[in-house]
Amino acid sequence: MDFAGASLIADDKLCAAIESVVDAGVDSGYHLLVVQGYSCTKEKTPKDEWIESHPFIVVGRRWIIDYHPNGFEDEEYISLVLTLDDDIEPSVNVQYVFSSVDQSELRVPKNIRQSQSVYLDEHLDGQYEFMKLQSHLGNLLLSKECAHITFEVGGEDFAAHRCLLVARSSVFKAQLCGAMNESSVVKISALY
């Protein structure tokens, strides 16, 4: 499968493209859609709106991926919709796969959703319940409820959860889980 371009969504909007339309010139291709700052995108994009990828061409047809951070029908899901973005007849029979990679350094696809062979005469098809969002943990983090640690950085305080810091960092694990360590303030100073 050949590369058919990339789109970057950051700060709740599509970033400018280097090329206007990428033509893979192949019968099978993939488009990389990168979303930075999902929480910001979800918060700033109204429920019934979406963000379009840059256009790309595969099988001689122009395509766009519609990214719905608040779902197509249910806001607990992320929805992805493949849109045929041209008026060329006849319509086309396609099969597509959407997958997500949570951390780019891992490069292990998760949440893989593959369509059956679909005849696109309506110009769109998608995974309306592509990935369900686990909002409980996110809400806890945003509310600072039950935060056990405070980071003091440049005179400003930031709340954090000990168990999450320990789970994500061996440095914090060593610092926060030492024998009888009950420290609740971590001071961070800049070194010049």
Q: What CATH number is given to the structural domain containing 27?
A: 2.60.210.10
Is the CB of residue 188 less than 8 Å from the CB of residue 171? no
Per cent of the chain over pLDDT 90 is 11
| 78/184: higher pLDDT | 78
* Peptide linkage before 90 cis (omega within 30 of 0): yes
Statement to judge: residues 45 and 17 lie in one domain = yes
In this structure, the strands spanning 149-153 and 185-188 are parallel
Q: What digits encode the pLDDT tens for the residues 63-73? A: 899 999 998 88
Statement to judge: residues 118 and 154 lie in one domain = no
Task: Check pLDDT > 90 for residue 54.
Answer: yes
Task: Check pLDDT > 90 for residue 53.
Answer: yes
91: which DSSP letter? P
Q: Residue 180 is part of which domain span? A: 135-188
> What is the b/e burial string over 45-54, where b = at least 16 CB atoms within 10 angstroms of the residue's CB?
beeeebbebb
88: which DSSP letter? P
Statement to judge: residues 125 and 58 lie in one domain = yes
Task: Check pLDDT > 60 for residue 159.
Answer: yes
Query: What's the pLDDT band for 123 if we cut at 50, 70, 90?
Result: low
Nearest to 183 by CA among 158, 151, 157: 151
| 96/22: higher pLDDT | 96
- Number of domains forming the structure of the chain: 2
Q: What digits encode the pLDDT tens for the residues 83-110? A: 888 887 777 888 888 887 765 445 555 5
Query: What's the pLDDT band for 26 if we cut at 50, 70, 90?
Result: confident
Q: What CATH number is given to the structural domain containing 161?
A: 3.30.710.10
**Cα(170)–Cα(47) distance, rounded to whole angstroms?**
38
User: Which among 97, 115, 132 is the end of a domain?
Assistant: 132
